[in-house]
Structure 1
Amino acid sequence: MKTKLQFLKPLGKFLLLLILVGISFSYAMFQGGFVSWFLFYSFLPFALYAASVFLYPLSEFYVERSFESSEYKAGDELKVTITLSRKIPFPLFYMVLEDVLTDSVFHHSGFQKAKAMIHPGFRKRIKLTYYIEELPRGEHVFSAVRLRAGDFFGIFEKEASIDCINKLLVYPAFVDVPYRPLENRYDQGMTTSNVKIQKDTTMATGIRDYQPGDRFSWIHWKTFARTNELMTKEFEERQSHDVLIVLDREDSPAFESMVTLSASMIRSILKKGAQVGLVSIGEDHVSFPIRGGEEHQSQLFYHLAKVRQDSPYALGKVLQGEGLNYSQSAAVLFVTSSVSKKMIMSVNQYAKRNSSVVIFLLKRIGEAYTAEEKSLKAYASSRGIRLKVCFEGDFSSAFMEVKRA
């Protein structure tokens, strides 16, 4: 029923226009004289134009949308260019153009819609440019361009929506975070080591005297047969810089800062030639293995660009139900905006695996570092877990201060 009424509405307006033309003509015929005929002939062009607008198809416009670049990160400025082209140069007095896109694009913008009025005239090609400041992270969809035009009196208003789909993926922002390998702590005397030392047993670099505790497979039998003395092969020592980042996806005002810190740490670690993995648990459980290289960084950044704060549970409860699959030589970094005793107890199981475990607690600008959080920091330290408080926009010293802790 509603569809039929929408269809009958322009027909009713068209009949009204014919009635107005008939009334002005009848007035000129019966009244006569210069004034009455002048009114009729003056109104006739506007009536014909209104009828032409009623018949003109706005859908004949071809729409093309383009961006200045193919890759953006959060906080960048977006320049959007819309090009309209048509075959029939019908004189349109005005036209309102609106770019239909997801509302998330205007999260930090001063306006909420991309809308403008233009005067096409007889032009066959029209180009319009607008800017969106401070792009938010995420995937944004530009679905269509809506056009609306009318006549001088506003009797007829035509609207058409022309499909023009573009998807824009905005990657998370990142800052320079100088990376330093974290210390690992052991129960025996609380000794420290910058990184786990592993021996590459595929290649021997020399031999030395046998020492108690050396593996049987490391004995150099040729030397023993020649000298009758036990000698042990020496292997190249390889340092493990593996890092696993665990992102807390619980709803939080500091979530965007958490994503920025995670992206910054990933970029810094991979830039140093180390390897990094990522675990983010929300409505879905996403886990990336510990690897290196630019392709791996692209995969992690792609996930961080689309990740949402959709975890229904706190990180401590999530860790109790989900195990983290990683090697013992990897350092584990938890990125969260809230910390609790229950969470520290859940994280403690990873500290027992001889891994270097650090909790990065994100605070917004102006947010206080409470006495309870200071108490929890001491509680975590007693269990071999380091808790580092980072304030929004100040991530440059994150690794350095953790190393000194």
Structure 2
Amino acid sequence: MKTKFQVVKKIGKLLLLLLLIAITFIYAMFQGGFVSWFLFYSFLPFALYSVFVFIYPLSDFYVERRFESIEYKAGDELKVTLTLRRKVPFPLFYMVLEDVVTESLFQQSSFHKAKSMIYPGFRREMKLSYYIDELPRGEHIYSAVRLKTGDFFGVFEKDAVIECRDQLLVYPSFVEVQYRPLENRYDQGMTSSNVKIQKDTTMATGVRAYQPGDRFSWIHWKSFARTNELMTKEFEERQSHDVLIVLDREYSSAFEPMVTFTASVIRSIIKKGAQVGLVSIGREHQSFAIRGGEEHQGQLYHHLAKVQPDSQFALGKILQGEGLNYSQSAAVFFITASVSKKMIMSVNNYSKRNSSVVIFLIKSNGETYTSEEKSLRAYASSRGIWLKVCYEGDFSSAFAEVKRA
């Protein structure tokens, strides 16, 4: 209904303009003289231009959008270049151009829309560039470019939306973190493990009685020849540097610093040659296996670029209801913006599984370290859990005091 009204309105304006042309012409014919004809000929070019603006299709424009780089991280400057091309060089007095993009792109910018006025004239090709000083982390969708123009009198105003889709993925920023592997060795015991213990088969440290499941190549044949009993070589068990990171996605003002810290730790761990996994706990839980390499880091960063603080429950409650599937040899880092006694009790179950457990409590600039959190830190320490408070802007020293609890 609204579209039909707009069409009728435009047709009405056109008829009114044609009527004005006819009135000025009739007036000049009947009145005669220099003034009347001067009025007619002065009005005629503007009136005809308005008619041509009404007829000219803005769909004649083709739009191309370009970014200077393929990858961006939070805090980078973005330069966007829009190129407009058209076939018919119709003289346009002005044009308002707006780049249609999700509002999330302007969270940290001084303006809220990418909108500007250009003066095309007779040009077939036009370029317009704009900058966004500080990119926010996330996935930003460019859907179209909106064009708007009109005549001198403002009688006709035309707009068109030209589809031009692009996706801009801004990865989280990171800082240099001096990662120090935690002391965490494989110990033999009654607790079962879902991974096989890795042994350094180049160095035998002793022998023991043969057990079902031992490899044939581990049998100590010299002992068998002497005692006529099967004996198995014992090897030095290598230290594990695998890490599982658990990211709490409950809403907090420190969520962005949490993502930055997570990205920084992942980068530092992989740079050290160790392996890392990620469990992202939010409305939908996502798990990434413990692996290493740049490709794995790219997958984790891709997830961190899109992640949002959408968890509906506290981390302690979620951990009580759902367990974490990980190697018992891996150290577990919990990254959160709030701690509670219930959460520490839930995390305590993982410290009993022969793993080193650290809780990183992330605080944004200006937040204080409360007395309640200090008492909870002491409580966590009594349970064998190290709780480390990390402030935004001071992540580089996060592992300075972290040790095996």
Instruction: Give the TM-score normalised by the residue count of structure 1.
Output: 0.92
Counterparts of 1:70 and 1:106, CA distance in 2 = 19
Q: Is the 8 A contact 1:275 1:290 kept in 2?
A: yes
Instruction: Give the CA deviation at 1:149.
Output: 0.8
Counterparts of 2:356 and 2:404, CA distance in 1 = 13
Cα offsets for 1:316-351 (capped at 9, x unmatched): 111111110011111110000011111111111111
Q: Is the 8 A contact 2:182 2:404 kept in 1?
A: no
Off by >6 Å, runs of 4+ in structure 1: 213-216, 229-232
Instruction: Give the CA deviation at 1:283.
Output: 1.3
Q: Which runs of 5+ in 1 are unaligned?
A: 188-196
Counterparts of 2:186 and 2:234, CA distance in 1 = 24
The share of aligned pairs that are identical, in percent, is 71
Counterparts of 1:249 and 1:136, CA distance in 2 = 18
Counterparts of 2:271 and 2:305, CA distance in 1 = 20
Cα offsets for 1:88-144 (capped at 9, x unmatched): 110111111000000000000010000111010110010111111211111110000
Counterparts of 1:398 and 1:207, CA distance in 2 = 36
Q: Is the 8 A contact 1:199 1:235 kept in 2?
A: no
Whether 1:343 and 2:343 are equivalent positions in the alignment is: yes
Structure 1 match to 2:199: 200
Structure 1 match to 2:265: 265
Instruction: Give the CA deviation at 1:23.
Output: 2.1
Structure 1 match to 2:315: 315
Instruction: Give the CA deviation at 1:185.
Output: 9.6
Structure 2 match to 1:26: 26
Whether 1:222 and 2:231 are equivalent positions in the alignment is: no
Instruction: Give the CA deviation at 1:398.
Output: 0.6
Counterparts of 1:309 and 1:15, CA distance in 2 = 56
Structure 2 match to 1:283: 283
Structure 1 match to 2:354: 354
Supply the AA of the counterpart residue of 1:267.
Answer: R
Give the total of aligned pairs: 393
Counterparts of 1:167 and 1:174, CA distance in 2 = 22
- Greater mean deviation of Cα atoms: 230-239 or 394-403: 230-239
Q: Is the 8 A contact 2:386 2:403 kept in 1?
A: no
Q: Is the 8 A contact 1:204 1:233 kept in 2?
A: no
Q: Equivalent residue of 2:11, what SS?
A: helix
Q: Is the 8 A contact 2:247 2:334 kept in 1?
A: yes
Structure 1 match to 2:326: 326
Structure 2 match to 1:303: 303
Structure 2 match to 1:191: none
Instruction: Give the CA deviation at 1:227.
Output: 5.3
Counterparts of 2:301 and 2:258, CA distance in 1 = 13
Structure 2 match to 1:192: none
- Greater mean deviation of Cα atoms: 285-294 or 216-225: 216-225
Counterparts of 1:233 and 1:227, CA distance in 2 = 15
Structure 1 match to 2:9: 9
Supply the AA of the counterpart residue of 1:221.
Answer: H
Q: Is the 8 A contact 2:386 2:404 kept in 1?
A: no
Instruction: Give the CA deviation at 1:168.
Output: 0.8
Q: Equivalent residue of 2:399, what SS?
A: helix
Q: Which runs of 5+ in 2 are unaligned?
A: 188-195
- Greater mean deviation of Cα atoms: 138-147 or 12-21: 12-21
Counterparts of 2:161 and 2:237, CA distance in 1 = 65
Supply the AA of the counterpart residue of 1:371.
Answer: S
Supply the AA of the counterpart residue of 2:275.
Answer: Q
Cα offsets for 1:28-58 (capped at 9, x unmatched): 2232211111111011001111100000000
How do 1:35-74 residues align onto structure 2 when only pairs under 5 Å count? 35-74=35-74
Flag the 1:214–1:359 CA change in 2: closer, same or farther, 3 A: farther
Cα offsets for 1:221-278 (capped at 9, x unmatched): 3222555599863535422111000000111111111111111111100111111110
- Greater mean deviation of Cα atoms: 219-228 or 107-116: 219-228
Counterparts of 1:362 and 1:14, CA distance in 2 = 64
Instruction: Give the CA deviation at 1:403.
Output: 2.8
Instruction: Give the TM-score normalised by the residue count of structure 2.
Output: 0.92
Q: Equivalent residue of 2:308, what SS?
A: coil
- Greater mean deviation of Cα atoms: 227-236 or 282-291: 227-236
